[in-house]
Structure 1
């Protein structure tokens, strides 16, 4: 089981992008993964610095970072991805991971 951290844009996004984070986390959890979702870590976000301190601490307990489209436009997500890459964690597109998890059980039946 992978321990996945979701990293993407929240600041200046409609509803802080919580719907995307929550739906992605639900899909990955349904596939059996443990998911760290910043939307759950920061339900009442506070300052950007406060959120990033909580998020980076949680990131340290993961082995994979999954990113949605547009993550590269977020200074927080860019920092999280940089940290993950420097620490040798896998960095993947969230959509690809969700799609691969959904397809894999079907492929195993054939």
Structure 2
């Protein structure tokens, strides 16, 4: 099974959007996936730069990026997707991935 990096908006959202990250991580793991969740990497937050450095390092160990709603409005998520595309990684909508597997 491929390792999935979960990408989505955090900055400016209530609770840094951690509940959405946790729920999707649970759904993907229930489907048998290995998931890297940046909310788990940075549970106490930190500066944007510090978090992105840790997140990008973790992204390098993954094969696929799964996006959460609103990723396109997040500078961090857009950077993660740009890196993923440039490195030839697969990018998918996280909800589509869960829905496909439920069928």
After TM superposition, the score normalised by the length of structure 1 is 0.92
Residue 12 of structure 2: aligned partner: 12
- Alignment: residue pair count: 103
SS at match of 1:62: coil
Superposed displacement of residue 13, structure 1: 0.4
Shift of 1:101: 1.5
Distance (whole Å) between structure 2 residues aligned to residue 51 and residue 57 of structure 1: 10
Runs (5+) with no aligned partner, structure 2? none
1-structure distance, mates of 2:74, 2:22: 18
Aligned twin of 2:46: 46
Instruction: Give the superposed CA RMSD.
Output: 0.5
Secondary structure, counterpart of 1:65 in structure 2: strand
Shift of 1:57: 0.2
2:85 maps to 85
Computing the radius of gyration from Cα coordinates, the structure with the larger value is: 1
Poorly superposed stretches of 4+, deviation over 2 Å? none
- Name the residue aligned to 1:74: 74
TM-score, with length taken from structure 2: 0.98
How far has the Cα of 1:68 moved from its partner?
1.1
Alpha-carbon shift at residue 4 of structure 1 (Å): 0.2
> How far apart are residue 69 of structure 1 and its match?
1.3
For 1:19 and 1:26, how far apart are their aligned partners in 2?
11
